[in-house]
Amino acid sequence: MQYTFQRNSDQAPARQLIIYFCGWGMTPATVSHLTLPDQCDLLALYDYRSLELSNDLADLPWDSYQAVSIVAWSLGVWAAEQVVPHWSILPSARRLIAVAGSPYPMHDQWGIPRAIFIGTLEGLTDENRQRFNRRMCGGKRYKQLYDILSERATTELRDELQAVYDSLATSEEPETTPHTRLAWDLAIIGERDQIFPAKNLSTLWEAVHVPTLLLPDGYHYLFDLWHSWRELWTGIE
């Protein structure tokens, strides 16, 4: 994984940290418009061709953080489920919010239907990628995000999705009841989501007893509905 770190205090060490897991093919620029709370830093993780954490992350001021908020979007929900349980350096005081994603990213009832996931992987081209972006954002939001969504090459995105698929294929076991590795506090769902069907996400989070917030006008990319990170967790405070 790659990462960016945004320090929000030039004086004393920050007391809070937000860890943001990006969606597939995305960069931290997708949330660059969100303002941070005072004395709160932001660590953004992306590029799931590998789930290995950089050794440099050990140098962050972990001892100063009294609380950590983990916000994961789209395939970032799955990535967080793989990484966080093994990340021993994280402070124990956490709150976790899943945004338009699932621990089961390729699943007919709890995630992206399997045929669609595989079809996206096998047919990914520059042209198909633009159609995917339009479905993700909704037509009126597409132009606003075009530059951000085109930052990474299509070949890189294909490699990333292939790595996710390979991981899912090797660990996939038939399950009749979903479970999560993390104790999510809130799942936010866009009712107009054309990537992760809202019905599938609602079914999953209800089954694992996680409160949900359904946004009637929300597409898959939901961050344009907020101006600050604080707005994301007002529903659980």
Report the percentage of the chain scoring pLDDT > 70.
Answer: 88
Does 235 score more than 60 pLDDT?
Answer: no
pLDDT for residue 170: 79
- pTM higher than 0.75 for the full model? yes
115 or 138: whose pLDDT is higher?
Answer: 115
Mean per-residue pLDDT for 79-100?
90
| Mean pLDDT, the chain, integer | 87
Does 94 score more than 90 pLDDT?
Answer: no
Q: Could you report the per-residue pLDDT of 51-87, keeping only the tens digit for each?
A: 999 999 998 889 888 889 999 999 999 999 999 999 9
pLDDT classification of 15: cutoffs 50, 70, 90? confident
Selection from 220, 217, 203 nearest residue 111 by Cα: 203
pLDDT for residue 107: 94
Mean per-residue pLDDT for 88-112?
91
Q: Which fold has domain 2-236?
A: Rossmann fold (3.40.50)
Q: Could you report the per-residue pLDDT of 175-211, keeping only the tens digit for each?
A: 778 999 999 999 999 999 989 999 999 999 999 999 9
Give the domain ranges of the chain.
2-236
Mean per-residue pLDDT for 14-41?
90
